[in-house]
């Protein structure tokens, strides 16, 4: 089961640990969208989508038919920023937009924050049988 609010909180907490001064939960840089969209895809499934922006491609997800963009704030954006083309992308394509160690770092931080928020045992199959 995908809970957007819990995922958003876990993502926020994992980004708070970032040592890059330009990156914060309230000021996420455009280059994080590829890392975040791939991570969400790898953990929760769904699709990776992209749209053209002034600075290049912007990546986001669709899960259970709902467009989800964890790296864009809904507040204070122009109509250009809120326009989505929903062009299908692939995990392989998103790998071209970040360093592998960045993915590993964000992935581990997110899993830790998600586990603290809800406990991974709720998402693992029962192995006691």
On whether residue 129 sits in a domain, the answer given is no
On whether residue 126 sits in a domain, the answer given is no
Please state the pTM of the whole predicted model.
Answer: 0.77
Please state the separation of Cα 101 from the chain's center in Å: 16
On whether residue 16 sits in a domain, the answer given is yes
On whether residue 127 sits in a domain, the answer given is no
Cα separation values, 33 from 11, 56, 94, 102, Å: 12, 12, 9, 12
Give the model's pLDDT for residue 123: 53
Secondary structure (H, E, C), 6-70: HHHHHHHHHHHCCCCCCCECCECCCCHHHHHHHHHHHHHCCEEEEEEECCEEEEEEEECCEEECC
On whether residue 66 sits in a domain, the answer given is yes
On whether residue 94 sits in a domain, the answer given is yes
On whether residue 106 sits in a domain, the answer given is yes
pLDDT digit string (tens) for the chain, length 129 residues: 688 998 999 998 887 766 554 444 444 445 689 999 999 999 999 999 999 998 899 999 999 999 999 987 553 454 555 689 999 999 999 999 998 888 999 999 999 998 887 765 555 555 454
Query: How many separate domains does the chain show?
Result: 1
On whether residue 102 sits in a domain, the answer given is yes
Domain that holds residue 49: 4-120
User: Would you tell me how many other CB atoms lie within 10 Å of the CB of residue 48?
Assistant: 22
Give the model's pLDDT for residue 27: 40
Quick check: 37 and 59 in contact, CB under 8 A?
yes
Give the model's pLDDT for residue 94: 94
């Amino acid at each position: 089961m995908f809970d957007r609010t819990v995922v958003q909180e876990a993502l926020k907490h994992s980004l708070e640990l970032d040592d890059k001064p330009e990156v914060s939960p309230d000021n996420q840089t455009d280059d994080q969208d590829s890392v975040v969209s791939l991570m969400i895809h790898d953990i929760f499934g769904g699709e990776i989508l992209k749209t053209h922006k002034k600075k290049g491609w912007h990546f986001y997800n669709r899960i259970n038919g709902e467009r989800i963009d964890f790296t864009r704030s809904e507040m204070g954006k122009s109509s250009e920023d809120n326009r989505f083309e929903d062009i299908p992308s692939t995990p392989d394509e998103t790998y071209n937009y970040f360093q592998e160690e960045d993915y590993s770092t964000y992935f581990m931080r997110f899993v830790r924050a998600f586990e603290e928020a809800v406990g991974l045992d709720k998402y693992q199959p029962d192995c006691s049988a």
